[in-house]
Amino acid sequence: MGPALSRVALADGEAQGHFDPMIRLPPPKPEILARRDGILADLGRLLPEDAVIGEAIRLRPYETDGLSAYRQMPLAVTLPRTTEEVAAVLRYCHANGIRVVPRGAGTSLSGGALPLEDAVVIGLMRMNRILEVNYDDRFAVVEAGVTNIGITKAVEGDGFFYAPDPSSQLACMIGGNVMMNSGGAHCLKYGVTANNLLGLTFVTIEGEVVRIGGQHLDAAGYDWLGLITGSEGQLGMVTEVTVRILRSPEGARAMLAAFSSVEVAGQAVDAIIGAGVIPVALEFMDKPCIHACEAFAHAGYPLDAEAVLIIEVEGSLAEQDMLLNRIKEICDRFEPISMKLAESAEQSLAIWKGRKGAFGAVGRISPDYLCMDGTIPTGELPHVLKRIGEMSAHYGLGVANVFHAGDGNLHPLIMFDANDAESFRKAEAFGADILRLCVEVGGCLTGEHGVGVEKRDLMVAQFTPRELALQRAVKSAFDPGWLLNPAKVFPLEGNEALAA
């Protein structure tokens, strides 16, 4: 990092074994670092005074995102308020060969919004206006910095909602959701972000503003909307999003079923889906997770269970009864330890309470956790959990598993101590082993959190070098100079575009 940005030295001899788990980033461009003051001055001319941040003290909080183990100070931070301002910054950076890192709410769990030393961060949190809500055609147009829940809040009074609901929905922004193709507990029924979009205002690295899609379904021509969704800021920036909004169901209710083994719980899931019942949510928690949640939320989860399923159905009261009874009958065949059908909305909330607080609960029993995000074929769950248990013993680190059982998305929460270098390295290695296992059984590295920097180097486990080259080339078609969020998604090895 440049001299102006270096940390104030610690008191003498007090290194304390503190460590910097620095992620490897491409070498910064020296000519850009050297021009830092000039660049700040130029940005200051392009944007209002309060939209450019350059002081080291004020840049510090932007050095990381939801994956705080990795940190890197940026060159500058900009906070534009309009599409035109975003375009102006991109045009300037493009003309001057300056790298950019887009940022939404910074809740990425894969280090997607991690800055680079020679990069300008473009934060869209000020673009937080709802531009249009249209009930006749059931869409809403919002700026990229509107929070996920903000969309639902804007329409729920009229009985509508925006379906994808990542657990971070209170904070994460729709622009970030588009770029990560975020999912949520209810995506088994309603799909992920990609399935709920109609259009985007997209700004290319050259600063050109283009509208993609619109207020209609299935634009003709190449599916740019689909390609850009989930592209992790590699292809351009999104400033406005047109989302579909749906009418809320009449009601929803949850049930809880506890089983004596992971296998049996998995069989119950298979049987439910095999019987043609697609619940809106189907969540699985393993024993360590049940214990963590129970200690925190006192939701009444059975502590002797090896696995708990939380199942939610929707519809009128009679339909909920019908579905819950069907599911109960199926579960009965697998000799559950206990079952609890919510009788009311309050009881549903109580059942969900522990699950919703799972991350926080683990955060309370362990100083830090790494949240993994592989997907596996659901049938592989027992095998995968057994192997994860063995790895946990091998690394000596605790792990709690939350699993979106309907769609195979597995979230192992690896518990470690970020102040202990050894513990952190073990956690990283443990995480990598889990993800390789996911790929090995036919799954993938990430179901919803994105590759970011975190899983970048594991991409070789899932793709051949030629496949990676092809994806890189598609990125190059949008961003020939590799200025957009470089160092993410693709391994650094063999990437000439980022070599010094």
Ligand X SMILES: Cc1cc2nc3c(=O)[nH]c(=O)nc-3n(C[C@H](O)[C@H](O)[C@H](O)COP(=O)(O)OP(=O)(O)OC[C@H]3O[C@@H](n4cnc5c(N)ncnc54)[C@H](O)[C@@H]3O)c2cc1C
Binding mask 388-427 for ligand X (x = CB under 6 A): ----------------------------------------
Going by C-alpha positions, the residue among 155, 131, 153 that lies closest to residue 141 is: 131
Long-range contacts of 64-67 (CB under 8 A, 24+ apart): 64/106, 64/111, 64/114, 65/103, 65/106, 65/107, 65/108, 65/111, 65/112, 65/113, 65/114, 66/106, 66/107, 66/108, 66/109, 66/168, 67/108, 67/109, 67/110, 67/111, 67/114, 67/452, 67/453, 67/454
- 374, amino acid identity: G
Nearest distance from C-beta of residue 496 to ligand X, angstroms = 22
Q: Which is closer to ligand X, CB of 124 or CB of 339?
A: 124
Q: Tell me which residues in 49-68 interact with ligand X (CB under 6 A).
A: 65-66
Burial of 57 (0-12, 13-18, 19+ CB in 10 A): exposed
Q: Which tokens hold the place of 109?
A: 């769990």
**Least distance to ligand X, CB of residue 180, Å:** 4
Q: Which is nearer to ligand X, 54 or 176 (CB)?
A: 176
What are the structure tokens assigned to 259, written together?
A: 């089983």
Closer to other proteins by Cβ: residue 42 or 206: 206
Question: E strands of 398-459, at which residues?
Answer: 399-404, 409-416
Query: What percent of the residues of the chain are helix, what percent strand, and what percent coil, each to the nearest 5?
Result: 40, 20, 40
Which residue in 72, 375, 446, 485 binds ligand X (CB under 6 A)?
485
CA nearest neighbour of 80 among 122, 38, 119: 122
What's the closest the beta carbon of residue 159 comes to other proteins, in angstroms? Answer: 8
Which CB sits closer to other proteins, 35 or 276? 276
Contact indicator for 160, 247 with CB cutoff of 8 Å: yes
Nearer CB in complex with other proteins: 261/476: 476
**Residue 66, C-beta contacts closer than 8 angstroms, at least 6 positions apart:** 106, 107, 108, 109, 168
**Nearest 5°: phi and psi at 400?**
-120, 140
Nearest CB to other proteins, comparing residues 29 and 46: 46
Choices 28-36, 256-264, 343-351, 447-455 (CB under 6 A): range interacting with ligand X: 447-455
* Angstrom distance (rounded) from CA 139 to CA 132: 8
Binding mask 206-245 for ligand X (x = CB under 6 A): --------------------------xx---xx-------
Contact code string over 8-37 relative to ligand X, x by CB under 6 A: ------------------------------
Closer residue to other proteins, CB minimum distance, 135 or 304 = 135
Residue 146 interacting entry, from other proteins, ligand X, none, C-beta within 5 to 8 Å by type: none
Between residue 86 and residue 145, which ones bind ligand X under the rule CB under 6 A?
Answer: 101-109, 112-113, 124, 144
Number of residues that bind ligand X (CB under 6 A): 37
Which one of ligand X, other proteins, none is in contact with 101 (Cβ closer than 5 to 8 A by kind)? ligand X
Nearer to ligand X, 182 or 204 (CB): 182
Type of residue numbered 112? G
Burial class for 463, CB neighbours closer than 10 Å (0-12, 13-18, 19+)? middle
Instruction: Pick the binder of ligand X from 115, 183, 357, 406 (CB under 6 A).
Output: 183
Q: What is the dihedral of CA 26, 495, 37, 84, to 10 degrees?
A: -120
Q: Report the C-alpha gap between 253 and 32 in whole angstroms.
A: 56
Give the residue closest to ligand X by C-beta. 176
Q: How far is the CB of 170 from ligand X (least distance, A)?
A: 9
User: Can residue 177 be called a binding residue for ligand X (CB under 6 A)?
Assistant: yes
| Residue 73, helix vs strand vs coil | coil
Laid out side by side, the sheet with 209-213 consists of 130-134, 139-143, 237-244, 197-203, 209-213
CB of 170 to other proteins, least distance (A): 5
The torsion angles phi and psi of 473, rounded to 5 degrees, stand at -65, -35
Residue 494 interacting entry, from ligand X, other proteins, none, C-beta within 5 to 8 Å by type: none
In the complex with ligand X, which residue's Cβ is closer, 124 or 350? 124
What is the closest distance, in whole angstroms, from the C-beta atom of residue 233 to ligand X in the complex? 3
Q: Which does 283 bind (CB under 5 to 8 A by kind): ligand X, other proteins, none?
A: none
- Binding partner of residue 54 among other proteins, ligand X, none, CB cut-off 5 to 8 Å per kind: none
- The residue ranges that bind ligand X (CB under 6 A) are 65-66, 101-109, 112-113, 124, 144, 166-168, 172-173, 175-177, 179-180, 182-184, 232-233, 237-238, 359, 448-450, 485
